[in-house]
Structure 1
Amino acid sequence: MSTATPMPEQGRAGLSLPSPINMDWTFPDRDAPLPVYLLVQAPSSPTSSSLAGVGPAQTWRDLHWSLSWQPAEGAWRHVQVDMYDVKTDPAPQPRYVFWGARTTTADAAAEGSAARLELGTLARDERRRVEQMAWEVPVMYPNGEWNCQNWVRGLFERMVEAGLVKQERVDEVVKVAETVHGDLPVP
Protein backbone atom coordinates (compact mmCIF):
# COMPACT_ATOMS: atom_id res chain seq x y z
CA MET A 1 0.00 0.00 0.00
CA SER A 2 1.02 3.59 -0.51
CA THR A 3 2.20 5.80 2.35
CA ALA A 4 -0.80 7.98 1.47
CA THR A 5 -3.27 5.23 2.43
CA PRO A 6 -4.57 5.56 5.99
CA MET A 7 -5.50 2.52 8.05
CA PRO A 8 -9.14 2.37 9.16
CA GLU A 9 -9.79 3.52 12.73
CA GLN A 10 -6.16 4.59 13.29
CA GLY A 11 -5.06 0.96 12.76
CA ARG A 12 -7.52 -0.43 15.34
CA ALA A 13 -10.05 -1.95 12.90
CA GLY A 14 -10.47 -5.70 13.36
CA LEU A 15 -8.04 -6.12 16.26
CA SER A 16 -8.78 -8.75 18.89
CA LEU A 17 -6.83 -7.29 21.81
CA PRO A 18 -8.01 -4.31 23.85
CA SER A 19 -5.99 -1.13 24.11
CA PRO A 20 -2.98 -1.11 26.45
CA ILE A 21 -3.64 -0.27 30.09
CA ASN A 22 -4.06 3.44 30.79
CA MET A 23 -3.05 4.48 34.30
CA ASP A 24 -4.55 7.98 34.08
CA TRP A 25 -7.09 7.10 36.79
CA THR A 26 -4.16 6.69 39.21
CA PHE A 27 -1.99 9.49 37.84
CA PRO A 28 -4.33 12.14 36.40
CA ASP A 29 -2.87 14.88 34.24
CA ARG A 30 -2.77 17.74 36.73
CA ASP A 31 -3.78 21.31 36.00
CA ALA A 32 -0.27 22.78 35.86
CA PRO A 33 2.16 23.77 33.13
CA LEU A 34 4.45 20.82 32.37
CA PRO A 35 7.44 20.30 30.09
CA VAL A 36 6.53 18.24 27.02
CA TYR A 37 9.20 16.06 25.45
CA LEU A 38 9.96 14.11 22.35
CA LEU A 39 11.12 10.83 23.86
CA VAL A 40 13.49 8.83 21.70
CA GLN A 41 14.09 5.28 22.82
CA ALA A 42 15.37 1.98 21.63
CA PRO A 43 12.74 -0.38 20.21
CA SER A 44 10.98 -2.54 22.79
CA SER A 45 12.25 -5.68 21.09
CA PRO A 46 15.67 -6.04 19.46
CA THR A 47 14.12 -8.22 16.77
CA SER A 48 11.18 -5.98 15.88
CA SER A 49 12.55 -2.46 15.78
CA SER A 50 10.58 -1.56 12.68
CA LEU A 51 7.91 -2.96 10.44
CA ALA A 52 10.60 -3.46 7.84
CA GLY A 53 12.05 -6.17 10.10
CA VAL A 54 15.61 -4.85 10.11
CA GLY A 55 16.37 -6.21 13.57
CA PRO A 56 18.15 -4.13 16.23
CA ALA A 57 18.32 -0.37 15.90
CA GLN A 58 20.75 0.32 13.07
CA THR A 59 19.91 3.98 12.51
CA TRP A 60 17.77 6.69 14.09
CA ARG A 61 14.90 5.51 11.84
CA ASP A 62 14.70 2.31 13.91
CA LEU A 63 14.08 4.16 17.19
CA HIS A 64 10.71 4.77 18.82
CA TRP A 65 9.45 8.36 19.12
CA SER A 66 6.66 9.54 21.39
CA LEU A 67 5.37 12.87 22.63
CA SER A 68 5.32 12.63 26.42
CA TRP A 69 5.11 14.46 29.75
CA GLN A 70 5.08 13.54 33.44
CA PRO A 71 1.66 14.05 35.06
CA ALA A 72 3.11 12.81 38.37
CA GLU A 73 6.36 11.44 39.74
CA GLY A 74 6.90 7.91 38.41
CA ALA A 75 4.32 8.26 35.63
CA TRP A 76 4.47 9.34 31.99
CA ARG A 77 1.66 10.32 29.63
CA HIS A 78 2.41 9.25 26.05
CA VAL A 79 0.91 10.29 22.74
CA GLN A 80 2.30 7.73 20.30
CA VAL A 81 1.61 4.91 17.90
CA ASP A 82 2.41 1.38 19.02
CA MET A 83 3.47 -1.66 17.04
CA TYR A 84 0.80 -4.36 17.04
CA ASP A 85 1.52 -7.89 15.85
CA VAL A 86 -1.07 -10.61 16.49
CA LYS A 87 -0.82 -13.12 13.65
CA THR A 88 -4.41 -14.35 14.11
CA ASP A 89 -5.82 -10.85 13.54
CA PRO A 90 -6.61 -9.52 10.06
CA ALA A 91 -3.77 -8.35 7.83
CA PRO A 92 -1.66 -6.37 7.76
CA GLN A 93 0.42 -7.69 10.63
CA PRO A 94 2.52 -6.19 12.06
CA ARG A 95 1.05 -2.70 11.95
CA TYR A 96 1.07 0.56 13.87
CA VAL A 97 -1.93 1.52 15.99
CA PHE A 98 -2.96 4.72 17.74
CA TRP A 99 -4.93 3.84 20.87
CA GLY A 100 -5.16 7.38 22.21
CA ALA A 101 -3.05 9.09 24.85
CA ARG A 102 -2.26 6.95 27.85
CA THR A 103 -0.41 7.14 31.14
CA THR A 104 2.12 4.47 32.08
CA THR A 105 4.48 3.73 34.94
CA ALA A 106 8.01 2.29 35.15
CA ASP A 107 8.79 2.58 31.45
CA ALA A 108 12.04 3.44 29.71
CA ALA A 109 11.36 7.18 29.98
CA ALA A 110 10.94 6.95 33.75
CA GLU A 111 14.02 4.77 34.06
CA GLY A 112 16.16 7.25 32.13
CA SER A 113 17.06 5.15 29.07
CA ALA A 114 15.19 7.42 26.66
CA ALA A 115 16.56 10.65 25.26
CA ARG A 116 14.30 13.45 26.54
CA LEU A 117 14.19 16.34 24.10
CA GLU A 118 12.11 19.20 25.48
CA LEU A 119 9.70 20.89 23.09
CA GLY A 120 8.41 23.42 25.60
CA THR A 121 6.05 23.83 28.53
CA LEU A 122 2.32 23.43 27.91
CA ALA A 123 -0.65 24.07 30.16
CA ARG A 124 -3.09 21.21 30.75
CA ASP A 125 -5.64 22.59 28.29
CA GLU A 126 -2.89 22.81 25.64
CA ARG A 127 -1.84 19.21 26.34
CA ARG A 128 -5.46 18.14 25.94
CA ARG A 129 -5.56 19.92 22.58
CA VAL A 130 -2.47 17.92 21.57
CA GLU A 131 -4.26 14.70 22.58
CA GLN A 132 -7.26 15.69 20.46
CA MET A 133 -5.06 16.64 17.48
CA ALA A 134 -3.41 13.23 17.63
CA TRP A 135 -6.70 11.65 16.54
CA GLU A 136 -6.42 13.67 13.31
CA VAL A 137 -2.98 12.29 12.39
CA PRO A 138 -3.59 9.20 10.25
CA VAL A 139 -1.89 5.88 10.84
CA MET A 140 -0.74 4.54 7.49
CA TYR A 141 -0.65 1.04 6.05
CA PRO A 142 2.75 -0.55 6.66
CA ASN A 143 5.14 -0.25 3.74
CA GLY A 144 8.59 -0.63 5.34
CA GLU A 145 9.14 3.14 5.32
CA TRP A 146 6.34 4.85 7.30
CA ASN A 147 6.75 4.54 11.07
CA CYS A 148 6.12 6.21 14.44
CA GLN A 149 8.48 9.04 13.52
CA ASN A 150 6.34 10.02 10.53
CA TRP A 151 3.29 9.99 12.77
CA VAL A 152 4.95 12.19 15.41
CA ARG A 153 6.09 14.61 12.69
CA GLY A 154 2.47 14.85 11.52
CA LEU A 155 1.44 15.70 15.08
CA PHE A 156 4.21 18.33 15.28
CA GLU A 157 2.85 19.97 12.10
CA ARG A 158 -0.56 20.32 13.73
CA MET A 159 0.96 21.64 16.96
CA VAL A 160 2.90 24.31 15.04
CA GLU A 161 -0.21 25.30 13.05
CA ALA A 162 -2.13 25.65 16.34
CA GLY A 163 0.62 27.84 17.82
CA LEU A 164 1.44 25.37 20.61
CA VAL A 165 5.12 25.08 19.64
CA LYS A 166 7.45 27.03 17.39
CA GLN A 167 8.66 25.47 14.13
CA GLU A 168 12.25 26.41 15.03
CA ARG A 169 12.05 24.40 18.26
CA VAL A 170 10.54 21.40 16.49
CA ASP A 171 13.36 21.56 13.92
CA GLU A 172 15.99 21.66 16.69
CA VAL A 173 14.46 18.73 18.55
CA VAL A 174 14.09 16.60 15.42
CA LYS A 175 17.68 17.31 14.39
CA VAL A 176 18.91 16.02 17.76
CA ALA A 177 16.53 13.03 17.62
CA GLU A 178 18.09 12.03 14.30
CA THR A 179 21.53 11.75 15.93
CA VAL A 180 20.93 9.89 19.22
CA HIS A 181 20.73 6.27 18.00
CA GLY A 182 24.28 5.40 19.06
CA ASP A 183 23.58 6.65 22.59
CA LEU A 184 20.59 4.41 23.36
CA PRO A 185 20.77 0.87 24.70
CA VAL A 186 18.95 -1.85 22.78
CA PRO A 187 17.06 -4.17 25.18
Structure 2
Amino acid sequence: MMTRSRSTISLDATCAKAVTLPNAMGKPPCVLKPIGVEHIPAFRDGEARGPLLVQILIYDGGEKSTVAPRDRHWAIAWMVGEMTTASWFVDGYPIAAHRILELKNELAPDGSGPLPYLTNWGPRTTSIGVEDQASIHVDVVVLSYSQRQVMEEIARNEPVRPPNGNWNCQNWVASILRRCEEAGILTGDQRRHALSQTGVNWRNLC
Protein backbone atom coordinates (compact mmCIF):
# COMPACT_ATOMS: atom_id res chain seq x y z
CA MET A 1 0.00 0.00 0.00
CA MET A 2 1.04 3.60 -0.43
CA THR A 3 0.04 7.16 0.26
CA ARG A 4 0.87 10.50 -1.28
CA SER A 5 4.31 11.78 -0.30
CA ARG A 6 3.42 14.33 2.34
CA SER A 7 6.20 16.66 3.36
CA THR A 8 5.21 16.17 6.98
CA ILE A 9 6.77 12.75 6.56
CA SER A 10 9.81 13.90 4.62
CA LEU A 11 10.43 16.82 6.96
CA ASP A 12 10.00 14.79 10.13
CA ALA A 13 11.57 16.33 13.22
CA THR A 14 12.82 12.87 14.19
CA CYS A 15 14.91 12.55 11.03
CA ALA A 16 18.10 13.00 13.04
CA LYS A 17 18.01 9.21 13.17
CA ALA A 18 19.93 7.62 10.33
CA VAL A 19 17.70 6.54 7.45
CA THR A 20 19.11 4.05 4.98
CA LEU A 21 17.44 3.87 1.59
CA PRO A 22 17.25 0.40 0.02
CA ASN A 23 18.50 1.94 -3.25
CA ALA A 24 18.83 5.31 -4.99
CA MET A 25 15.12 5.36 -5.90
CA GLY A 26 13.92 4.29 -2.47
CA LYS A 27 12.13 1.21 -3.84
CA PRO A 28 11.50 -0.91 -0.74
CA PRO A 29 11.95 -4.67 -0.92
CA CYS A 30 8.81 -6.83 -0.78
CA VAL A 31 6.60 -3.94 -1.93
CA LEU A 32 4.94 -4.18 -5.33
CA LYS A 33 5.11 -1.33 -7.83
CA PRO A 34 1.78 0.56 -8.03
CA ILE A 35 -0.45 -0.54 -10.90
CA GLY A 36 -1.36 2.07 -13.49
CA VAL A 37 -3.66 1.88 -16.51
CA GLU A 38 -0.92 1.47 -19.13
CA HIS A 39 -2.32 -1.98 -19.95
CA ILE A 40 -5.64 -0.49 -21.16
CA PRO A 41 -5.31 0.01 -24.93
CA ALA A 42 -7.08 3.38 -24.92
CA PHE A 43 -4.36 4.75 -22.65
CA ARG A 44 -1.45 2.59 -23.75
CA ASP A 45 -1.87 3.48 -27.42
CA GLY A 46 -3.87 6.68 -27.23
CA GLU A 47 -1.47 9.23 -25.77
CA ALA A 48 -1.30 12.10 -28.18
CA ARG A 49 1.90 12.16 -30.17
CA GLY A 50 1.48 15.90 -30.54
CA PRO A 51 2.22 18.62 -27.98
CA LEU A 52 0.58 18.46 -24.52
CA LEU A 53 0.52 20.84 -21.58
CA VAL A 54 2.74 19.75 -18.68
CA GLN A 55 1.68 20.93 -15.22
CA ILE A 56 2.72 20.83 -11.59
CA LEU A 57 -0.06 19.34 -9.45
CA ILE A 58 -0.20 20.70 -5.89
CA TYR A 59 -2.29 18.69 -3.46
CA ASP A 60 -3.94 19.98 -0.26
CA GLY A 61 -3.88 23.51 -1.68
CA GLY A 62 -6.50 26.20 -1.91
CA GLU A 63 -7.57 29.06 0.32
CA LYS A 64 -9.24 26.75 2.87
CA SER A 65 -6.29 24.39 3.16
CA THR A 66 -4.81 23.84 6.60
CA VAL A 67 -1.65 22.31 5.10
CA ALA A 68 1.32 24.66 4.95
CA PRO A 69 2.61 25.30 1.40
CA ARG A 70 5.94 23.58 2.16
CA ASP A 71 4.07 20.47 3.36
CA ARG A 72 1.95 19.95 0.23
CA HIS A 73 2.55 17.08 -2.14
CA TRP A 74 3.76 17.98 -5.64
CA ALA A 75 3.72 15.97 -8.85
CA ILE A 76 4.30 16.60 -12.56
CA ALA A 77 1.54 15.44 -14.92
CA TRP A 78 -0.13 15.78 -18.31
CA MET A 79 -3.47 14.55 -19.61
CA VAL A 80 -3.20 11.55 -21.92
CA GLY A 81 -6.78 10.59 -22.75
CA GLU A 82 -10.32 9.74 -21.75
CA MET A 83 -12.27 6.49 -21.65
CA THR A 84 -15.25 7.02 -23.94
CA THR A 85 -17.10 3.71 -23.55
CA ALA A 86 -20.18 3.84 -21.32
CA SER A 87 -18.73 1.34 -18.83
CA TRP A 88 -15.99 3.85 -17.99
CA PHE A 89 -18.30 6.78 -17.27
CA VAL A 90 -18.81 8.05 -13.71
CA ASP A 91 -21.78 10.33 -13.03
CA GLY A 92 -22.13 10.86 -16.74
CA TYR A 93 -18.52 11.93 -17.31
CA PRO A 94 -15.73 9.94 -18.97
CA ILE A 95 -12.84 8.86 -16.78
CA ALA A 96 -9.70 10.72 -17.75
CA ALA A 97 -6.11 9.66 -17.20
CA HIS A 98 -2.81 11.41 -16.96
CA ARG A 99 0.84 10.52 -17.11
CA ILE A 100 2.29 11.34 -13.71
CA LEU A 101 5.78 11.76 -12.28
CA GLU A 102 5.75 11.73 -8.50
CA LEU A 103 7.09 10.24 -5.29
CA LYS A 104 5.11 7.94 -3.04
CA ASN A 105 5.31 7.27 0.66
CA GLU A 106 4.98 3.50 0.94
CA LEU A 107 3.67 1.65 3.95
CA ALA A 108 5.97 -0.86 5.58
CA PRO A 109 5.03 -4.50 4.76
CA ASP A 110 4.98 -5.35 8.48
CA GLY A 111 2.17 -2.89 9.15
CA SER A 112 4.30 -0.55 11.25
CA GLY A 113 3.23 2.50 9.26
CA PRO A 114 4.76 4.71 6.56
CA LEU A 115 8.40 4.09 5.67
CA PRO A 116 10.77 6.91 6.71
CA TYR A 117 11.68 7.72 3.11
CA LEU A 118 9.97 8.31 -0.24
CA THR A 119 9.93 6.11 -3.34
CA ASN A 120 10.43 6.92 -7.01
CA TRP A 121 8.61 4.17 -8.97
CA GLY A 122 9.08 5.98 -12.27
CA PRO A 123 6.46 7.43 -14.65
CA ARG A 124 3.04 5.81 -14.78
CA THR A 125 -0.36 6.40 -16.31
CA THR A 126 -3.22 6.58 -13.85
CA SER A 127 -6.89 7.48 -13.84
CA ILE A 128 -7.65 10.84 -12.29
CA GLY A 129 -9.41 10.64 -8.94
CA VAL A 130 -11.19 13.27 -6.88
CA GLU A 131 -7.95 14.19 -5.11
CA ASP A 132 -6.18 14.76 -8.42
CA GLN A 133 -9.02 16.86 -9.82
CA ALA A 134 -9.07 19.00 -6.68
CA SER A 135 -5.34 19.69 -6.80
CA ILE A 136 -3.98 23.04 -7.92
CA HIS A 137 -2.73 22.88 -11.52
CA VAL A 138 0.25 25.10 -12.36
CA ASP A 139 1.09 25.32 -16.05
CA VAL A 140 4.75 24.69 -16.85
CA VAL A 141 5.22 24.27 -20.60
CA VAL A 142 3.77 22.60 -23.69
CA LEU A 143 6.04 19.72 -24.72
CA SER A 144 6.13 17.48 -27.78
CA TYR A 145 5.88 13.71 -27.39
CA SER A 146 9.66 13.30 -27.77
CA GLN A 147 10.29 16.06 -25.22
CA ARG A 148 7.93 14.36 -22.76
CA GLN A 149 9.90 11.16 -23.24
CA VAL A 150 13.03 13.08 -22.23
CA MET A 151 11.24 14.39 -19.13
CA GLU A 152 10.12 10.87 -18.24
CA GLU A 153 13.66 9.54 -18.51
CA ILE A 154 14.94 12.34 -16.30
CA ALA A 155 12.26 11.58 -13.70
CA ARG A 156 12.90 7.84 -13.91
CA ASN A 157 16.52 8.42 -12.95
CA GLU A 158 16.04 11.23 -10.42
CA PRO A 159 17.16 9.76 -7.07
CA VAL A 160 15.46 10.04 -3.71
CA ARG A 161 17.33 11.53 -0.79
CA PRO A 162 17.00 10.47 2.84
CA PRO A 163 14.86 12.84 4.94
CA ASN A 164 17.13 15.49 6.42
CA GLY A 165 14.77 18.28 7.44
CA ASN A 166 15.13 20.13 4.14
CA TRP A 167 14.44 17.79 1.22
CA ASN A 168 11.03 16.51 0.05
CA CYS A 169 8.91 15.84 -3.04
CA GLN A 170 8.91 19.55 -3.90
CA ASN A 171 12.70 19.54 -4.19
CA TRP A 172 12.44 16.43 -6.38
CA VAL A 173 10.00 18.14 -8.77
CA ALA A 174 12.12 21.31 -8.88
CA SER A 175 15.21 19.23 -9.66
CA ILE A 176 13.46 17.51 -12.56
CA LEU A 177 12.48 20.88 -14.03
CA ARG A 178 16.04 22.14 -13.65
CA ARG A 179 17.39 19.06 -15.43
CA CYS A 180 14.81 19.56 -18.17
CA GLU A 181 16.11 23.10 -18.60
CA GLU A 182 19.64 21.69 -18.85
CA ALA A 183 18.37 19.23 -21.47
CA GLY A 184 16.92 22.13 -23.48
CA ILE A 185 13.24 21.14 -23.38
CA LEU A 186 12.14 24.18 -21.39
CA THR A 187 13.67 27.56 -20.70
CA GLY A 188 14.87 29.02 -17.44
CA ASP A 189 12.09 31.60 -17.61
CA GLN A 190 9.46 28.89 -18.00
CA ARG A 191 10.87 26.94 -15.05
CA ARG A 192 11.14 29.96 -12.79
CA HIS A 193 7.70 31.27 -13.71
CA ALA A 194 6.02 27.92 -12.94
CA LEU A 195 7.80 27.52 -9.61
CA SER A 196 6.94 31.10 -8.64
CA GLN A 197 3.24 30.19 -8.89
CA THR A 198 3.46 27.37 -6.33
CA GLY A 199 3.27 29.46 -3.16
CA VAL A 200 6.70 28.48 -1.81
CA ASN A 201 10.08 30.16 -1.95
CA TRP A 202 11.19 28.13 -4.93
CA ARG A 203 14.77 29.41 -4.79
CA ASN A 204 15.25 27.24 -1.71
CA LEU A 205 14.22 24.16 -3.69
CA CYS A 206 16.87 24.33 -6.42
* TM-score bucket (shorter structure): 0.7 to 0.9
Q: Is this contact kept in 2: 1:67–1:80, CA < 8 A? A: yes
Counterpart position of 1:17: 31
Give the CA RMSD over aligned residues: 2.7
Cα distance in structure 1, aligned partners of 2:108 and 2:165: 18
- One-letter amino acid of the counterpart of residue 171, structure 2: N
Residue 9 of structure 1 and its aligned partner are, at CA, apart by 3.7
Change in 2 beyond 3 A, CA 1:115/1:134: same
Conserved 8 A contact 2:103-2:121:
yes
- CA change 1:109–1:131 in 2 (3 A) is farther
**Kindly, what percent of the aligned residue pairs are identical?**
27
List gaps (5 residues or longer) in structure 1: 44-55, 180-187
Return the letter of the residue paired with 1:30: A
Give the counterpart letter for 2:50 in structure 1: A
Tell me which residue corresponds to 1:101.
123
Amino acid at match of 1:130: M
| 1:170 alignment partner, one of 173, 178, 191 | 191
103 and 57 in structure 1: CA distance in 2 versus 1, 3 angstrom threshold: farther
How many residues of Structure 1 are paired with residues of Structure 2 in the alignment?
163
For residues 147 and 120 of structure 1, do their structure 2 counterparts lie closer, same or farther at Cα, with a shift above 3 Å needed?
same
Measure, in 1, the Cα distance between the counterparts of 2:54 and 2:124. 14
Q: 1:151 is paired with a residue of what secondary structure?
A: helix
Query: Is 2:170 the partner of 1:149?
Result: yes
Match of 2:203 in 1: none
CA 1:79–1:6 in structure 2 vs 1: closer, same or farther (change >3 Å)? Answer: farther
After TM superposition, where is structure 1 displaced by more than 4 Å over at least 4 residues in a row? none
For residue 166 of structure 2, what is the amino acid of its counterpart?
E
Query: Which structure 2 segments of 5+ residues have no match?
Result: 1-14, 83-95, 201-206
Flag the 1:109–1:34 CA change in 2: closer, same or farther, 3 A.
farther
Match of 2:50 among 32, 53, 65: 32
Deviations 1:46-75 (A, max 9, x none): xxxxxxxxxx85311111111100010300
Q: What letter matches 1:19 in structure 2?
A: K
**Equivalent residue for 1:67, pick from 61, 76, 100:** 76
- Post-superposition CA distance 1:93-147 (Å, at most 9, x none): 2320000101111324653x11111111111111111111113321011223311
Look at both structures and tell me which one has the larger radius of gyration over its CA atoms. 2
Partner SS for 1:10: coil
